Structure 1
Amino acid sequence: MAPLEVKCAGVVLAAGGSARFGSQKLLANFKGRPLVWHAAETLRSAGLETYIVVNSREVASAAGRVDGIIYNPWWRQGLSTSLKAALIALYQKKCIVWMPGDMPCVKPDTVLKIASACKSGLAVPVYRGARGNPVASCRDVYALALGITGDVGLRVLLNAVPTLSLEVEDAGVLADVDFPGDLQRLPC
């Protein structure tokens, strides 16, 4: 992998309640490690600075080595509160890659591709015609993103800002974990 030309931060979004899973899914064992560790490792391997938005120290500890932890006490009010907490901390960065903590199969090359391509607006990976995650956002959308409310993420901005869709050969961009059985169906 070639190094990034733009200094880009990575955020593992890990502050949900895991209601459908039945327990804290980010601590679930996947290939001998907690699920959240894999998402953080993808960002580490891509060469991004890693920040984790969490609702407990336990989840942050399970992620392994990180550059910083951002606690979001308002996580029950939805995903938008985690975005805001990270944006406030990282506002000076030219780019942020938003990695859901329940997506352990995304390849570091995919992260590098969307981060490198993010010059304006959003950069989104597309696998076989379907948009996936993680999403990269550029500084020009931060102010708009701070206005998002509720249990939604950057996807609500897709039609409001320039969005670059990048075709990738990475089924991991579509594979998240909602239920315990999803762990056995992951493509990695």
Structure 2
Amino acid sequence: MRSVGVVLAAGGSARFGSQKLLSDLAGRPLVWHAAETLRSAGLSVYVVVNDRRVASAAGAVDGVIYNPWWREGLSTSVKVAVVALHDADCIVWMLGDMPCVKPETVARLASTCGKGLVVPVYRRRRGNPVASGRGVFSATLGISGDVGLRALLGLVPVSYIEVDDEGVLFDVDTPEDLQKASSCVRRSSRV
């Protein structure tokens, strides 16, 4: 089974006030941490971007997928990645602003991936990243707007897995969030 990781990194960072994915977090760009989580989980890493600087900041990746339609919402990044990676059996979708997810969580999502979606749950709350099997790729092409794979919940088979990883609930939307993230990254062995 060919499982790959995709960093969704083509947003506009409107709430942050500047390109947050290039912001420094423990000596590396924020987006690097998301890509490194996928690499540490043993996945090939692809990054969906609208900015070459973000692609470079992600570090060593197996491929860069440019999304010229990024202003139309997150769904466009998901769709361009599915088209580009149509031969994958499983895609783990990592948001570029989620530096605190454990590589073990990603590895578990990839190993649990089947024909539907695999969603992590921490203390009864759904989180990210999410894994999707080949069986939902065509359904993914039907989503639109500023929504990701949650648009498929209730429409395709879903497996929820309990994880011991509060990082699945945390993303960086503000400069204050970036400061909070420094504590989880310092504790991590990834940097």
Q: Normalization by structure 1: what TM-score?
A: 0.96
What CA distance in whole angstroms lies between the structure 2 residues aligned with 1:110 and 1:152? 23
Question: TM-score, normalized by length of structure 2?
Answer: 0.94
Find 1:63's aligned residue among 51, 55, 58.
Answer: 58
Q: For 1:80 and 1:41, how far apart are their aligned partners in 2?
A: 23
**Aligned twin of 1:102:** 97
Give the stretch that moved more between structures: 8-17 or 114-123.
Answer: 114-123
Equivalent residue for 1:162? 157
How do 1:32-111 and structure 2 match up within 5 A?
32-111=27-106
What residue number does 1:180 align with?
175
Per-residue CA shift, 1:40-84, capped at 9, x if unaligned? 000011111100000111000000000000000110000010001
Aligned to 1:147: 142
State the 1:135 CA deviation: 0.2
Aligned-partner residue type, residue 79 of structure 2: K
Question: Which consecutive residues of structure 2, in runs of 5 or more, have no partner in the other structure?
Answer: 185-191
The whole-number CA distance in structure 2 between the counterparts of 1:170 and 1:38 is 16
Cα separation, 2, equivalents of 1:44 and 1:179: 26
Q: CA deviation at 1:7?
A: 1.5
Provide the C-alpha distance between the structure 2 equivalents of 1:10 and 1:27, rounded to a whole number of angstroms.
20
After superposition, residues 117-132 of structure 1 pair within 5 angstroms as 117-132=112-127
Q: How many residues align?
A: 183
| Structure 2 CA distance for aligned equivalents of residues 32 and 41 of structure 1 | 13
Name the % identity. 69
**What does residue 188 of structure 2 align with?**
none
